Amino acid sequence: MVTVLIKPTHLKLRMSKLEDAMAKLVVNQENSMTTIRNIEIQKGQMAKQLAERHNGQFSVNYQSNPKEHCNNVVTEKKNK
């Protein structure tokens, strides 16, 4: 059996690096949880908006045509 002795200064340095890594991990986890919470809030807001709509209808914002001389739009489908 081989025993490896680690100097106390090396042990402190390794512990310090480990503590730093753990602290970063905790911060990343907290940021992820905050992001998930925000997404859940937005999902709830969207569900509420959809529930408030009349079935089968789109919400419409009518705006007057700022270019009154352009009243029609013609589109053509080109067959290839």
pLDDT above 70 for 80: no
CA distance 36 to 75: 43
| Entry pTM | 0.51
DSSP labels, 33-50: HHHHHHHHHHHHHHHHHH
Alpha-carbon distance 20 to 59, whole Å?
51
Output the pLDDT for position 33: 96
pLDDT bucket at 71, cuts 50 / 70 / 90: low
Query: Mind listing the pLDDT tens digit for each residue in 11-62?
Result: 888 889 999 999 999 999 999 999 999 999 999 999 888 887 766 666 666 6
